[in-house]
């Protein structure tokens, strides 16, 4: 068991990558805190973990709201006493060329994808500092490093998360806290299906085009990212700090 008894909070784990990661972590002995805006999806993740013999609780909280995030962290500490790993995974898509994006839509993407990393980190880190131990995984994207069409607001957020990760790592290394970023390529989740539907008249053709950009010639699945997250969450990655960790089928070289 690579995560035996570790208490792990994964934001946005009612769906996609967060859910696949929660299921994998639970199978490796972790005690999961499933967070999501969507209560039904979050509870389904908990049920699947419990059905497989694992341990999990669900806490509904909006990662952009300080009161809700702070209360969630207090609840976890009251329940488990510690938080060993924080995976800042929750995020939303943003589609469009810059001059067509409405200011409100811009703010929404910036808010969830950047503030949604800031707030859980802000409230979890003091507990990790006290124990001089912890691993934080921030969800960036390969888009932080390559240009992709019609993703201006989203790209801005994922570049920011990568920069934030490096800054956090420098600040919190003295407290025994590791902070790394995951940079997935195109991973087939509800999030990507939504983006493809909104962006292309023919999503099937778009998928073929995306595959051609990959060295792997295939797109990824949530489980591919979950396996990388498992490494970053576990003590096996104890020498990995402030790293941009690619899980992208080589798209940054395509």
Active-site amino acid positions: 154
Contact 125, 131 (CB under 8 A): no
Q: Report the distance separating Cα 51 and Cα 228, nearest Å.
A: 24
Considering only 49-57, 84-92, 119-127, 130-138, which stretch makes contact with ligand NAD by CB under 6 A?
84-92
Q: Which of 6, 7, 8, 41 binds ligand NAD (CB under 6 A)?
A: 41
Contact between 190 and ligand NAD (CB under 6 A)? yes
Answer for which of 189, 214, 234, 243 binds ligand NAD (CB under 6 A) is 189
Report in angstroms how near the CB of residue 193 gets to ligand NAD at its nearest.
9
- Minimum distance of ligand NAD from residue 174's CB (angstroms): 28
**Of the residues 31, 49, 83, 91, which one makes contact with ligand NAD according to CB under 6 A:** 91
Stretch that binds ligand NAD, among 11-19, 47-55, 171-179, 226-234 (CB under 6 A): 11-19
- Give one DSSP letter per residue of 16-30, joined into a string: HHHHHHHHHHHHTTP
Report the side by side order of strands in the sheet with 31-36.
55-60, 31-36, 7-10, 85-88, 134-139, 177-184, 244-247
* Residue 124, token pair as written in the block: 């979890």
Q: Which of 4, 38, 47, 238 binds ligand NAD (CB under 6 A)?
A: 38
Decide if residue 232 touches ligand NAD (CB under 6 A). Answer: no
- Nearest distance, CB of residue 131 and ligand NAD, angstroms: 25
Q: Are 35 and 210 in contact (CB under 8 A)?
A: no
Does the footprint of ligand NAD cover residue 90 (CB under 6 A)? yes
Q: Does 37 bind ligand NAD (CB under 6 A)?
A: yes
45 interacts with ligand NAD by CB under 6 A: no
| Positions 13 through 32 that interact with ligand NAD (CB under 6 A) | 14-18
Question: How many of the other CB atoms lie within 10 Å of CB of 110?
Answer: 18
Q: Does 231 bind ligand NAD (CB under 6 A)?
A: no
64 binds ligand NAD (CB under 6 A): yes
**CA 4, CA 137: separation in Å to the nearest integer?**
18
Interaction between residue 141 and ligand NAD (CB under 6 A): yes
Size of the site for ligand NAD (CB under 6 A): 30
Q: Cα–Cα–Cα angle for 189, 154, 109, nearest 5°?
A: 95
CA atoms within 13 A on the CB side of 82: 15
Q: Residue 56: what are its φ and ψ, rounded to 5°?
A: -160, 150
Return the number of the residue (84 or 248) whose C-beta is nearest ligand NAD: 248
d(CA 127, CA 129): 5
Question: 161 near 181, Cβ under 8 Å?
Answer: yes
Residues that bind ligand NAD (CB under 6 A): 11-12, 14-18, 35-38, 41, 62-64, 89-92, 112, 116, 139, 141, 184, 186-187, 189-192
């Amino acid at each position: 068991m690579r995560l035996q008894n570790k208490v792990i909070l994964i934001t946005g784990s009612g769906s996609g990558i967060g859910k696949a990661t929660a299921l994998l972590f639970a199978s490796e002995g972790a005690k999961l805190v499933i967070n999501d805006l969507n209560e039904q999806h979050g509870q389904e993740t908990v049920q699947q973990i419990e059905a497989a013999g694992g341990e999990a609780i669900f806490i509904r909280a909006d990662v952009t709201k300080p009161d809700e995030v702070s209360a969630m962290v207090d609840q976890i500490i009251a329940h488990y006493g510690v938080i060993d790993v924080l995976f800042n995974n929750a995020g939303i898509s943003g589609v469009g060329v810059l001059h067509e994006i409405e200011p409100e839509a811009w703010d929404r993407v910036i808010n969830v994808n950047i503030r949604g990393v800031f707030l859980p980190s802000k409230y979890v880190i003091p507990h990790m500092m006290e124990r001089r131990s912890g691993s934080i995984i921030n969800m960036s994207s390969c888009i932080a490093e390559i240009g992709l069409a019609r993703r201006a607001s989203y790209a801005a957020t994922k570049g920011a998360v990568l920069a934030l990760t490096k800054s956090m790592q420098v600040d919190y290394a003295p407290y025994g806290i590791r902070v790394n970023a995951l940079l997935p390529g195109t991973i087939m989740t509800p999030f990507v299906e939504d983006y493809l539907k909104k962006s292309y008249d023919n999503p099937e053709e778009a998928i073929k085009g995306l595959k051609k950009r990959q060295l792997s010639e295939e797109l990824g699945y949530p489980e591919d990212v979950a396996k990388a997250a498992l490494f970053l969450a576990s003590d096996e990655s104890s020498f990995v700090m402030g790293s941009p960790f690619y899980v992208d089928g080589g798209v940054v070289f395509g």
